Structure 1
Amino acid sequence: MVLTDKEKLLLIRLLKKEKRKAFGIKENKKDVQQLLEKLEQNKRNTKVNEVNPSKL
């Protein structure tokens, strides 16, 4: 499944909220943190890989 940028931002926002919850299973928080890091890395990679057309 391919996610759009808008969907990725929404997921990142939801994961950050989930991470801040006071009550929850410790294993779940670790999984949330890993997924959050993966999505943020993907977003950074997308920004770096954007190619602007050159004027040749």
Structure 2
Amino acid sequence: MLAGGRDSREELPYRPNAELAPRLGTEVTEFPGGHVGYATHPAEFAARLAEVLTR
């Protein structure tokens, strides 16, 4: 799974996933916040992670 922070779409850490996703036939799974969304949006990040892991 390729993942990235919703607020960091234009930032360098997000770019490799954005480039790889179409090549791998998938998409980037987005999480709340930026590069460190787990620290800046912990509750929302945890909820999204739980959602993704239970699919």
Give TM-score scaled by structure 1 length. 0.32
Give TM-score scaled by structure 2 length. 0.33
Larger radius of gyration: 1
More helix by share: 1
More strand by share: 2
